Amino acid sequence: MAEISLITPTISEYLALRNSVGWRTPDTEVTAIALKNSLISAIAIEDDRVVGTVRIVGDGAMYFYIQDLIVHQQYQRRGIGSALMKAALQWLHNNVPKGSLVSLTTESSLAEFYSRTGFTKVADILMQSDESLEFRQSIK
């Protein structure tokens, strides 16, 4: 079984995990900022390598968002994702003020997994800006 630690993955570990599941790979500068700005991160180590991660992002007071639960494709279906979620939820239980909102976004194929960890589907629609590239370019 993987060992779970509340440690931020390195940029290369994080990008390798994203790549292993077919997610787009942001550049290293953007990744460094994202990892640094996480409220907390956890990693799963098995076979002396990082095989999974989860991050919690948000404002640290009212809104908390579970982000980037990733398990390397070769290590999926071994309970690693569940162990990472358990660590994330324990941190939230110990650190989040009562009445705060904790949420996440997922693909419909993973909704059952998250419902087993205590999350409930609340909407069928996720809205995203079509202008995200222009926003990113305008702040450089």
67-116 per-position pLDDT tens digit: 999 999 999 999 999 999 999 999 999 999 888 899 888 888 888 888 88
pLDDT over 90 at 20, yes or no: yes
Do residues 13 and 43 touch, judged by C-beta distance below 8 A? yes
> Rounded to 5 degrees, what are φ and ψ at 132?
-60, -35
Cα–Cα distance measured from residue 80 to residue 116, given in angstroms and rounded to the nearest whole number: 14
**Cross-strand pairs, 40:** 56
Joined together, the tokens standing for residue 126 give 């996720």
Amino acid at 134: E
Q: pTM of this prediction?
A: 0.86
What percent of the chain has pLDDT above 70?
A: 88
Cα–Cα distance measured from residue 12 to residue 56, given in angstroms and rounded to the nearest whole number: 19
Contacts of 131 (CB under 8 A, 6+ apart): none
Provide the pLDDT for residue 117.
87
Provide the pLDDT for residue 127.
60
